[in-house]
Structure 1
Amino acid sequence: MTVKLSLYERFGVKEYWIVDPGNQYAQIYRLQDGGKYGAPSVYSREEAVTVGIFEDLTIDLQEIFG
């Protein structure tokens, strides 16, 4: 996970999602102005997440996790 995180950060990937279906949460890293990822936001299955690169797209995690 840290290898991918470093690579994605280096190549400017704006968002990096880690979805854990077993524990039913999503961890999202967002690229900050300085080109580094900040601390991840963690969302539980009861939450809906707005995708940063597509402001009109919201993903309801309850639909993902069932």
Structure 2
Amino acid sequence: MESHIRYGYLPRCPDLYWDEGTGCYRCRLAEDPEHGERFRFLLGVGHGCCAPLNTWREAIRRRDEPEPVR
């Protein structure tokens, strides 16, 4: 929701980025030094996944790169 307020409706939030070190996506809104605590509360960070049936939860990888050839 906070992303929609800041940027409008986009396919992907500009504040979502891939962190090579942790091997997962991270949120700059949640990491903001001034407003991060509020954003973490509003986004439910730390309260578990809000989409338990989403199969991507079990296959964390960078999604903006082509699918590897198998």
Q: In which range does the TM-score fall when normalised by the shorter chain? A: under 0.3
Q: Which has the higher strand share?
A: 1
> TM-score, structure 2 length as denominator?
0.27
